[in-house]
Amino acid sequence: MSESALPKAPPRELIWGFTGAQSVAFALMLTTLVVAPFVAYPVFLMQVMCFAIFAMGANLLMGYTGLLSLGQAAYYGMGAYVGGYAVQTLHLTPEAGIALGTLTGAAIGAVFGWLAIRRQTIYFAMITLALAQFVNFFAVQDTGFTGGENGMQNIPRGRVAGMFSLHSDLHLYVFALVVFLIAFLFVHRVVHSPFGQVVKAIRENENRAISLGYKPAQYKWIVFTIAAGLAGLAGALNALVTHIVTLTDVGNATSGIVVLMVLVGGIGTIYGPLIGAAIIIAMQYYLASFSDWVTVIQGVIFIACVLLFRRGIIGELAAKLKLAL
């Protein structure tokens, strides 16, 4: 295989997205997130960031690898349970709980991914859904660990490094923002690395990638594991934000919501998951007063997004401006 056949990494100055349009977009995002807690409810904003991390992992699978997983809630929920248990029962620091939640999601994802990547298209999606049901069943039955239908309640926020208290919403927001930025930059680095170029090549033409000597199954398995780890990270962080983990966190509805976030925000875009998460979480917060009509309103909004923004909001914006966002 000739060296010229290898996928080229983007210029070094573009790897982290700090030039051109992406630097402007990142600065705008950062400024908005810094100012936001002074004009909006911090807990709402923190949940947006948690689900944005969750959606970034799902977007790595859907947008850059071409794999639709319907079982991402398994890693999100178990990350939340383990992270919450570590802080509440083992009395570990919040960063340790988040680290354990991330590792739990990645570990489960590594096992499930090894089984799922052997299939493609709808068969892959169905396998991920079936495997997630095992996790859901465990959460329902093992009431000693998960609390069953009562969930894991009163999870303390603790102190970072045992010194800095996170009991204040504003303090926790700063912590959550740091975690979000680390996850965002990590995903951006993965996408714009030589590894990311190979993954996108596999998505576009898997047979061509095989002919060049790459092993698509290995790359898919690594991306699957990364996505699961990000889901576990999001779940553990959300457990600190909301003080509770419930069966909903490992349910099919949560897996469906994260897919919608990716589609609405823009599949295969860096900033799409954040926009999608903001829209979906905002609807859950501000449409709650409509009771049973919430589902209908959400359905209408989703249909409108699909019809008006076929590539998602950020996808359409990037296409019109001819920018890579």
Mind listing the pLDDT tens digit for each residue in 99-113? 999 999 999 999 999
The candidate with the shortest Cα–Cα distance to 233, out of 114, 110, 94, 130, is 94
Hey, what CATH topology would domain 8-321 get?
ABC transporter involved in vitamin B12 uptake, BtuC (1.10.3470)
The confidence score (pLDDT) of residue 5 equals: 47
Contact 254, 77 (CB under 8 A): yes
Distance CA 57, CA 261 (A): 11
Distance CA 210, CA 188 (A): 25
Looking at residue 63, the DSSP 8-state letter turns out to be I
Mean pLDDT of the chain: 87
Distance CA 173, CA 178 (A): 9
Mind listing the pLDDT tens digit for each residue in 27-56? 999 999 999 999 999 999 999 999 999 999
Instruction: For residue 93, give Cα distances in angstroms to 19, 60, 86, 161, 236.
Output: 37, 29, 8, 6, 12
The confidence score (pLDDT) of residue 19 equals: 54
Between 212 and 181, the higher pLDDT residue: 181
Looking at residue 61, the DSSP 8-state letter turns out to be I
Amino acid identity for residue 127 in this structure = I
Q: If DSSP codes are grouped into helix, strand and coil, which group holds residue 245?
A: strand
Between 240 and 165, the higher pLDDT residue: 240
The confidence score (pLDDT) of residue 66 equals: 87
What do you get for the CA distance between the two ends of the chain, in Å? 32
The residue-averaged pLDDT of 260-287 equals: 90
Bridge partners, residue 165, by sequence: 159
The confidence score (pLDDT) of residue 101 equals: 96
Mind listing the pLDDT tens digit for each residue in 186-240? 999 999 889 999 999 988 888 888 888 888 899 999 999 999 999 999 999 999 9
Burial of 84 (0-12, 13-18, 19+ CB in 10 A): buried
Mind listing the pLDDT tens digit for each residue in 58-86? 999 998 998 999 999 999 999 999 999 99
Lowest mean pLDDT among 5-9, 23-27, 83-87, 136-140: 5-9
Distance CA 155, CA 163 (A): 18
The residue-averaged pLDDT of 124-142 equals: 91
Amino acid identity for residue 165 in this structure = S
Map out the domains of the chain as residue ranges. Answer: 8-321
Alpha-helical segments (H) within the chain: 20-35, 42-59, 73-88, 94-116, 121-141, 143-146, 169-191, 194-204, 206-211, 216-242, 252-265, 272-286, 293-308, 313-321
Phi, psi of 48 (to 5 degrees): -60, -45
pTM of the model: 0.91
